[in-house]
């Protein structure tokens, strides 16, 4: 069962600067208790579905911020896995990516992504968007679980 008031966020991102910016954007707010970081798609799937030694913890995440360009397993494959498993199909997944490709956008929405955001190149805009995304999906949105 998914915890109704989970305040953990799973950040799936391989770019160290983007990880740091998102952490900085959210650190002064009290709507995220913990940010778990997966630096590639394989690690993200291990967090969610587990391994032989580790059971996985999908119920702890209120929000998954997912980049598309990831090592090992790309973000679209991660999204496919999330949406195809009954334990994770209703998790909130927001894609934050530098890809403005129509094909990526369409594919993600066809797979059931909750939101698709193109990362701005401007530092201040990036920080503002990360804060707005975090606040909306962690505090205002009512998930279906």
pLDDT value of position 135 = 86
Q: Which domain holds residue 120?
A: 8-140
Predicted confidence band of residue 100 (pLDDT cuts 50, 70, 90): confident
Q: What is the CATH number of the domain that holds 28?
A: 3.40.50.2300
Looking at per-residue pLDDT, the higher value among 8 and 114 belongs to 114
> Would 145 be classed as within a structural domain?
no
Residue in 9, 1, 35 with CA at minimum distance from that of residue 136: 9
Mean pLDDT of 102-117: 96
Strands of 115-118's sheet, edge to edge? Answer: 34-38, 8-12, 61-66, 93-97, 115-118
Please state the domain count of the chain: 1
Read off the tokens for 55. Answer: 């059971």
pLDDT in tens, 24-47: 888 877 777 788 999 999 999 998
Read off the tokens for 85. Answer: 């498993």
What is d(CA 50, CA 67) in angstroms, rounded to the nearest whole number?
Answer: 20
pLDDT value of position 42 = 95
- The pTM assigned to this predicted structure is 0.89
The beta-strand segments (E) located in the chain are 8-12, 34-38, 61-66, 93-97, 115-118
Q: What is the CA radius of gyration of the chain?
A: 14
């Amino acid at each position: 069962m998914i915890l109704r008031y989970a305040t953990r966020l799973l950040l799936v991102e391989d770019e160290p600067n983007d990880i740091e910016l998102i952490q900085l954007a959210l650190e002064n707010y009290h709507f995220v208790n913990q940010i778990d970081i997966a630096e590639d798609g394989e690690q993200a799937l291990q967090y969610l579905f587990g391994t032989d030694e580790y059971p996985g913890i999908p119920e702890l995440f209120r929000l998954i911020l997912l980049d598309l360009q990831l090592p090992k397993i790309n973000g679209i494959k991660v999204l496919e896995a999330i949406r195809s498993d009954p334990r994770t199909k209703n998790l909130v997944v927001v894609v934050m990516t530098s890809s403005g490709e129509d094909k990526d956008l369409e594919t993600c929405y066809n797979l059931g992504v909750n939101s698709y955001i193109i990362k701005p190149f401007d530092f201040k805009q990036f920080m503002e968007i990360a804060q707005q995304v975090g606040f909306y999906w962690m505090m205002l949105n009512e998930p279906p679980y």
